[in-house]
Structure 1
Amino acid sequence: MLINPNTSADTTAMMTAIARRTLGSSVRGVTVARGPRMLTDPAALRASVPEVVAAAREALAAGDCAGLVVGAFGDPGVAELRAFAGVPVVGLAEAACAEAAAGGVRFGVATTTPDLAEAIGRRIAALGLADRYTGIRLTRSQAGRLSREPEALREELAEAVRACVVRDGARAVVIGGGPLAEAADALRERFDVPVVAPVPAACRRIARELAQHDPAVSEGYGSGQSSGRGPGQPMWKLSP
């Protein structure tokens, strides 16, 4: 299950569609019951934690949830879920930053939320990646405006990615935000350095963790099927 910690159902649908490209049709997206439509400051990030926990408990109680992806770049609720979930739990920031930094690569973050810049830096430090972090670059326009203008969002994020590379020396750039997932997907072909889209990175990580968690789960993550199953059959079953 992919939990969207903000209350935008459109964002949930977008992130779920991207997740299904990696994991197949067995991904279910869930929107938290209460909170802001966008998480743009530390207070909103903290307030989303109990909502993420509540959504996860409901999913786990149904007995058909094999793993949890928290679809916000601040990873709200990830630590709390790991304390009780009993299934793999992955956050966008930890997955994307670890992927970008693999092999000692220096990486930056491009995003739209200036009020979360310090929180993102702290999260990266907590992940043990501060020595590879070149810093954050922000779009010129506010997140609220860019959420309504997809083309402007892509172009301003591209400028921020370029600044990470040219000014800061980053050799990989993470797009910092769940609601930026579609734009992140579109930017990957525009640069010579890796541009890490957070939702696919989280899906790749949870695929590996699911395979470790359940030895019966193995090949076929890209198509939503595992070896020995027929075409189109999911690797693990979730409710529609």
Structure 2
Amino acid sequence: MRLLVINPNTSQGITDRIGQAAQSAAQPGDRITTLSAAFGPELIVTPEDGMEAARGVVETIRSQPVLPDAIILASFGDTGAEDVRALWPDIPVIGIAEAAFESARQMGGPFAIVTFAPEVAPPLRDKAIEHGVGDQLIRVAAHPEALQGDPADVAEALFAELLTLCQTCKNDGAKAIVMGGGPLAGLAARIGPLCDVPVIDGTVEAVHQIRARINSHAPLSKTGAART
């Protein structure tokens, strides 16, 4: 499987984290390329950020010498998904929010989202509702301080605080936890064993789900298109 993973943010540090998470889900024969958007914000926060980032995502795909078998958009806004599907309708596309929330849906029961800053919490809640799992979502738990410094550093700098938030959500009744945001890619593998409930990494889930779709030739979600 030739898989192109695009970080719609332009932070190379976040892209590196996403790439490592994607590679952790690779199987023999997979060729996974992870790139930042060609241009745009370092971290998507506002709707305006998202529109600019979507244009950067499209330009990244256009610059590829060979189109991939599938594309993962590694932001929790699924940034650029509509544009990419319209321009390349034969290539399966999945966003990491779509993948994470589909995993939560399949597990059933209540779940929580844990994220790194209060300003990203409302969009994460909105995205859960958009993907049809708002009724299962009991809480979006965010680190209370606004993001400062390089967003690629938050997973390590806030590890203890994020672990505490996960444990609190579990105690509040969450049967699964979604790590919300590209900067937290790869963190689920470290927090999960310490939390006693499944901790979902959207990038890892996206790799698994897009592979299953390709192998089965199954239709994508209502927002996607199957590759034939």
Corresponding position of 1:8? 11
Residues 38-49 of structure 1: matches in 2 within 5 Å?
A: 38-49=43-54
Shift of 1:128: 1.2
* CA deviation profile, 1:117-149 (whole Å, cap 9, x unmatched): 222222211211111111200013333347436
Amino acid at match of 1:192: D
Shift of 1:163: 2.7
Paired residue secondary structure (1:143): coil
Answering whether residue 85 of structure 2 is matched by residue 71 of structure 1, we say no
Q: Give the structure with the higher percent helix.
A: 1
Amino acid at match of 1:39: I
Corresponding position of 1:115? 119
TM value normalised by structure 1: 0.80
Corresponding position of 1:175? 179
Instruction: Give the number of aligned pairs.
Output: 211
Q: Which has the larger radius of gyration?
A: 1
Shift of 1:210: 1.6
Amino acid at match of 1:165: K
Structure 2 residue runs of 5 or longer lacking an equivalent are 219-228
Residues 210-229 of structure 1: matches in 2 within 5 Å?
A: 210-213=214-217
Corresponding position of 2:160? 155
Q: Is the 8 Å Cα contact of residues 5 and 72 (structure 1) preserved in structure 2? A: yes
Q: Is the 8 Å Cα contact of residues 20 and 26 (structure 1) preserved in structure 2? A: no
Paired residue secondary structure (2:87): coil
Give me the whole-angstrom Cα distance separating, in 1, the residues matched to 2:122 and 2:76.
13
Shift in alpha-carbon separation, 1:31–1:147, aligned structure 2, 3 A: closer
Shift in alpha-carbon separation, 1:151–1:3, aligned structure 2, 3 A: closer
| Aligned-CA RMSD value | 2.0
Identity of aligned residues (%): 28
